[in-house]
């Protein structure tokens, strides 16, 4: 997505749902850019997804499966209106401001809780990644020079079909909730857990993916948790080929292999 969607249609839906569910809707959170997300009373949040956000189609199903283990709890949903009433993480600060090693330990702990066996209704990423690569080539944005290599690597992968992955796993989607941490904003599909790692490697937002030492330590931590080293590196090339990467990031990613 190159531009943020218009939040007004989602705001109207949120107001309708809040009235029906007898919720007190507050002001939307500052980082609510692709969905309308706002506090809706004591300890709860109302989220209305953008209708064009196909990747988060099964967010409600993923929250039901996790049932609070590694993610916020789902309290109520309206699939037709893409509305979710979720437990609010409190105090809700994300892990982006924590020391590197602390944030990494937390992320690994949360991630292994999320990677659970699953099946329908979740979709397989293998039915979508080739199209995303094609779209990246057509758009020709920064990082698209990785696409030939991405296609080669993708052809080598035996992409898993039986593990639920978060889909947008990074520092800003991991929040403090009491004495633990939980994930939010899943774009849940079935695939390799290694698919989740590239977005973590290039975050927080203030971090540029050019420090090889930091990247290797992060990869090593997930490998120690049971992930495949080559798959992490391959998925990093593949995902950055269509998500975008500046020239320095492209050089680093090539050198990861």
Omega of the bond prior to 75 within 30 degrees of 0, cis?
Answer: no
Question: Which pLDDT does position 34 carry in this prediction?
Answer: 77
Cα–Cα distances (Å) from 164 to 112, 130, 244, in that order, read: 11, 19, 24
Question: Which pLDDT does position 29 carry in this prediction?
Answer: 87
Band (26; pLDDT cuts 50, 70, 90): very high
Question: Which pLDDT does position 127 carry in this prediction?
Answer: 97
Beta-bridge partners for 117 = 163
- Annotated domain spans of the chain: 8-88, 93-255
Band (1; pLDDT cuts 50, 70, 90): very low
Beta-bridge partners for 77 = 84
132-191 residue pLDDT tens: 999 999 999 999 999 999 999 999 999 999 999 999 999 999 999 999 999 999 999 999
91-132 residue pLDDT tens: 999 999 999 999 999 999 999 999 999 999 999 999 999 999
- d(CA 198, CA 192) in angstroms, rounded, equals 12
Q: Inform me whether the pLDDT recorded for 204 exceeds 90.
A: yes
62-101 residue pLDDT tens: 999 999 999 999 999 999 999 999 999 999 999 999 999 9
Dihedral in degrees, nearest 10, Cα atoms 16, 91, 205, 238: -70
Band (3; pLDDT cuts 50, 70, 90): low
Q: Which fold has domain 8-88?
A: Phosphorylase Kinase; domain 1 (3.30.200)
- d(CA 18, CA 11) in angstroms, rounded, equals 10
Band (30; pLDDT cuts 50, 70, 90): confident
Encoded tokens for 214? 């930091």
Pairing mode, strands 35-39 and 74-78: unpaired
Torsion sign over Cα 98, 104, 106, 107:
positive
Encoded tokens for 248? 């320095």
Q: What is the CA radius of gyration of the chain?
A: 18
- d(CA 59, CA 34) in angstroms, rounded, equals 14
Residues 6+ apart with CB under 8 A from 60: 74, 77, 79, 84
With respect to CATH, is domain 93-255 assigned 3.30.457.10? no
- d(CA 110, CA 63) in angstroms, rounded, equals 14
Q: Inform me whether the pLDDT recorded for 53 exceeds 50.
A: yes
Encoded tokens for 16? 């309708």
């Amino acid at each position: 997505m190159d531009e943020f969607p218009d939040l007004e249609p989602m705001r109207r839906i949120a107001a309708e749902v809040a009235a029906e569910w007898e919720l007190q809707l507050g002001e939307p959170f500052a980082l609510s850019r692709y969905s309308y997300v706002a506090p809706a009373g004591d300890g709860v949040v109302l989220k209305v997804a953008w209708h064009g956000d196909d990747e988060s189609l099964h967010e409600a199903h993923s929250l039901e499966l996790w049932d609070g283990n590694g993610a916020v709890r789902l309290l109520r949903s309206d699939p037709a209106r893409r509305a979710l009433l979720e437990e609010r993480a409190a105090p809700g600060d994300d892990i982006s401001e924590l020391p590197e090693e602390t944030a990494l330990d937390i992320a690994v702990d949360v991630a292994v809780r999320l990677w659970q066996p699953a099946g329908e209704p979740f979709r397989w990423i293998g039915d979508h990644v080739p199209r995303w690569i094609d779209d990246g080539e057509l758009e020709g944005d920064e990082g698209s020079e990785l696409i030939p290599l991405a296609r080669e690597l993708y052809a080598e992968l035996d992409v898993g079909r039986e593990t639920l992955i978060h889909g947008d796993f990074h520092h800003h989607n991991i929040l403090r909730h009491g004495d633990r941490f939980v994930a939010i904003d899943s774009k849940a599909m079935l695939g390799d857990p290694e698919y989740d790692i590239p977005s973590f490697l290039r975050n927080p937002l203030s971090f540029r993916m050019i420090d090889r030492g930091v990247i290797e330590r992060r990869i090593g931590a997930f490998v120690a948790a049971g992930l495949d080293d080559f798959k992490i590196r391959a998925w990093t090339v593949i995902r950055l080929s269509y998500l975008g990467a500046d020239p320095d990031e492209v050089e680093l990613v090539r050198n990861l292999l």
